Amino acid sequence: MKSTKDSETSLITTNRKARYDYHLRDRYEAGVVLQGTEVKAIRAGRFNLTDSYAQVTDGEVFLLDAHIGPYEHGNVANHEPKRKRKLLLHRREITKLERSIRSKGMTIVPTRAYFSNGKVKLELAVAMGKRVYDKRDKIEREATANEIRAYN
């Protein structure tokens, strides 16, 4: 019987900008290859997914522009904050991702990061960029909904 600690998942960070900038479609769970002091820095809350994206290169998926701040108690062997990080997915998932981003305007964005059984996991979403008028429309709808709530 597994203890509750083994199946524990705790949220690290979410990429709120992804929901604002993209129409999110299929979602995948991926492991992240980390090195050195990166996990300690993540546990200290220094993980930022804003403006990051994933890219399929030679049958492998990499996370780009994700920022993991330096670990305070690290030494000269501290990690590079914006390095390219490999993501761990099954071969068939990589093939699906590759196929889905071939169409114009599609990309892979990380939506959230969390610990699952002590390992850092990312939720990736295949996304299509929103147009400016889509964003304006959404803001207008939310404003009218807030006004209606205020009067009731």
Half-sphere exposure of 17 (CA within 13 A, CB side): 8
Average pLDDT over residues 102-112: 89
Six-digit token string for 4? 């509750």
Please provide the CATH number assigned to the domain covering 9-151.
2.40.280.10
| Predicted TM-score (pTM) of this structure | 0.79
Contact 20, 111 (CB under 8 A): no
Question: How far from 61 is each of 20, 43, 103, 144, CA to CA, in Å?
Answer: 24, 24, 17, 41
- Tell me how far apart the alpha carbons of residues 52 and 102 are, in angstroms, rounded to a whole number: 19
Percent of the chain past pLDDT 70, that is, above it, reads 93
Higher-confidence position of 33 and 1? 33
- Tell me how far apart the alpha carbons of residues 61 and 80 are, in angstroms, rounded to a whole number: 19
| pLDDT, mean over the chain | 86
Does residue 103 carry a pLDDT above 50? Answer: yes
- Per residue in 10-30, pLDDT (tens digit) is 898 888 888 888 889 999 999
